[in-house]
Chain A
Amino acid sequence: MSMTFKVREVGGVTIVDLSGKITMGEGSPTLREEVHKLVAEGKKKIVLNLADVNYIDSSGLGELVSSYTSVKNSGGELKLLNLTSRVRDLLVITKLVTVFDVKDDEATAVSSFA
């Protein structure tokens, strides 16, 4: 199963609803490309909603990091929303949970941007 995503705007924040797997050869390049496209469009406040992502591997983690640095280097912020237990476990194991600003509900995520 590949990854799908929908992009929407809420209160000046770009929310990307991801669904599926973020893995090597199964959507990872798509995530990076999508985030790079949003950056190129001038989006500075981006939230990745991972509520429907139940599977991620090391390549997928790399794509999240790559997306994070891409947005940060453009002067923006990228936050994560609604982690599933499997994704959260891997972020904790790899200490990436200390890198990302992780939110548990959309309203809080949207209002957290300066």
Chain B
Amino acid sequence: MTDSTTNRGSMTLESDLSSVDAVETKAEQLAREAGFDEDSSSQIAMVAREAVINAILHGNKKDPAKQIHVSYELNAEALRIKIADEGHGLDPDTVPDPLAPENILRSSGRGIFLMKAIMDEVHFHQLNPGTEIEMIKYRVKKELSA
């Protein structure tokens, strides 16, 4: 492993959809820096966007008194993105399976599924108050070619 640099940072955002673009742009920049290709970087940015939208709409319910906390770390091993809201918490086990035949034609409910499909790991941490979602994408291809 030749790249031992760690890029770490955080952002605090208002509970407004105008905040979404900043996170998406940062996630895509980090993904490209990590060495992911254009399509993968776009997907990583997209699920970061999904997580922020969920935090704003379902977590903070657009309450202007509540904020979204984003932190990220890119190291030699992986890209980690954490997005936390200040809402009433989320039990991810209660989210319906969007692949189930009875749900396939629903017009919503695919955000968390896409995060899990595109990232290598997705963890939910219950805060007090709020929920933090941690998404990890390993730099596997880069390691193999090193």
Q: Which residues of A contact B (CB under 8 A)?
A: 23-25, 55, 57-59, 61-63, 65-66, 68-69, 85-86, 89-90, 93-96, 98-99
Structural contact, B17 and A57, CB atoms closer than 8 A? no
| Range for the number of chain B residues in contact with chain A | 20 to 34
Q: Which residues of B contact A25 (CB under 8 A)?
A: 17, 20
A65-B46 contact, Cβ under 8 Å, with A24-B17, A89-B39, A93-B114: no
Given contacts A25-B20, A58-B108, 11 further A-B contacts (CB under 8 A): A57-B50, A58-B50, A58-B110, A58-B111, A59-B108, A62-B110, A68-B105, A69-B107, A85-B39, A93-B118, A94-B99
Structural contact, A57 and B46, CB atoms closer than 8 A? yes
Structural contact, B49 and A94, CB atoms closer than 8 A? no
Contacts A/B (CB < 8 Å), 13 sampled: A23-B49, A57-B46, A57-B49, A58-B50, A59-B53, A61-B110, A68-B105, A69-B105, A89-B39, A94-B114, A95-B99, A99-B104, A99-B105
Interface residues of B in 1-54 (CB under 8 A from A): 17, 20, 39, 42-43, 46, 49-50, 53
Shortest Cβ distance from residue A37 to the other chain B in the assembled complex, whole angstroms: 18
A65-B106 contact, Cβ under 8 Å, with A25-B17, A89-B39, A94-B99: yes
Q: Which residues of B contact A (CB under 8 A)?
A: 17, 20, 39, 42-43, 46, 49-50, 53, 98-99, 104-111, 113-114, 117-118
Residue of B nearest to A57 (CB): B46
Residue of A nearest to B54 (CB): A58
Structural contact, B104 and A96, CB atoms closer than 8 A? yes
Q: Which residues of B contact A59 (CB under 8 A)?
A: 53, 108
CA distance A63 to B105 in the complex (A): 11
